[in-house]
Structure 1
């Protein structure tokens, strides 16, 4: 049986998700930060005859994230998704999302397969004399962060929705950012998102093309990682090319699974 989840289900839901807390970072973080009564967040759960959870799916604005530890009713979840409006993105661990790929009338496209890795300890992190350059962003820095990201080709166009998300995470503390500035502009940064009581997702690690090869991104990453580890949180991030993977593994990150992201066609 699949039904909408409510606050009365929270204990059971969190116990189910925390067994793979890093993989479920997005779902756990959004539940902790926004609860069950927001119009832009919906949660569904599949239960067996004994009332045990078998799968969870979350809609957050225009994106969906699905999770299960084993078998679940793919067809019924797909039917729910088909009935939703405005959904543009679908993601989750590969063993779950790939079950949706051959569902008739369910148009997944633009598949992006990435590695999910995790950092639990800081024994490979280093301190550098230049870390005095690294600053922690406040809400007053949000516009400058957006401006600095807009020149990074890999990120693509920065939309109004992106700007809103960056400002929102700094305001409600669902994420943070550390940056380096030179010549009055932010030239390098490392960000987190979806922070919860146990973990955080690292995103938006970048350096302006004119200031690369100075180790700035590494400085920002080291400061960011040490602060979060000091709070008892593990860190996660995605990467999809071996060169990036080698850099993160030098900092102590280890692979924990594969994560797929798709666009949902109309």
Structure 2
């Protein structure tokens, strides 16, 4: 049985999703930020005959993310019907195996599909600090503009529309943090987080300015970030689609959860 969830279901939903904080980073983060009664977020749950949750679906604006502990208990047709009936649809995202069960029942024309690897680092892994650096700084919220400026100069982020004021607000609220290395009073390498929850954090925006590559700057920033998150028992996770970047992350202890797909309409 599928029904829309409410505040009274918070404990059950967070217990259901919370045992995999990296996989459910966005679901947990959106519930923490918006709750169950806002226009921005809606959460549904599918229950078995004993009243236990078997899968959930979260809507953030026009974007949907499904999750089931057991893939065999995810009813693709039922969730496809919920998504279609919910109104405007812009994107469905999540682990490829789970989203794949829903896609055949979405009667809309796909605009695009992006696939990347999703990786996490287990909290109990030791951190090799041989490549740690003493010149890594934590950015203040007021420095958001220069962090965004650096990323705008990197080809990989050329199409990004990151707003310094949004980054600043997220840093002030504790949803994001940034570590960086500077040369000549300007950042040359940065690493940020986004969507931080009580149990996990998404690492994003890893980049180094042209001319400063291959000097261990990004690795140094990553080690500082991982150490900070580890101290708070927050599991680091990240997306990547570049095999070379994947090699760096795996040297630092990240392992693939699976493939993450984003299907736009």
Common fold by TM > 0.5: yes
SS of 1:66's equivalent?
Answer: strand
SS of 1:222's equivalent?
Answer: helix
Q: 1:145 aligns with which of 121, 144, 147?
A: 147
User: What do you get for the CA RMSD once the two structures are aligned?
Assistant: 2.1
CA contact (8 A) 1:125 1:252 kept: no
CA distance in 2, matches of 1:104, 1:86: 12
Q: Which residue of 1 aligns with 2:107?
A: 105
| Structural mapping, 1:176-187, within 5 Å | 176-187=177-188
1:124 shift after superposition: 4.1
CA distance in 2, matches of 1:44, 1:241: 34
Alignment length, in residue pairs?
Answer: 262
Q: Which residue of 1 aligns with 2:197?
A: 196
TM-score normalised according to structure 2 size:
0.89
Unaligned regions of 5+ residues in structure 1, if any? none
CA distance in 2, matches of 1:57, 1:165: 26
CA distance in 2, matches of 1:33, 1:47: 25
1:111 shift after superposition: 2.1
Unaligned regions of 5+ residues in structure 2, if any? none
Q: Which residue of 2 aligns with 1:155?
A: 157
SS of 1:157's equivalent?
Answer: coil
CA distance in 2, matches of 1:105, 1:256: 29
Comparing 134-143 with 55-64, which one deviates more in the overlay? 55-64
TM-score normalised according to structure 1 size:
0.89
Is 1:254 matched with 2:255? yes
Q: Which residue of 2 aligns with 1:225?
A: 226
Q: Deviations over 1:132-161 (max 9, x none)?
A: 32111121011222212112221242326x
CA distance in 1, matches of 2:150, 2:61: 25
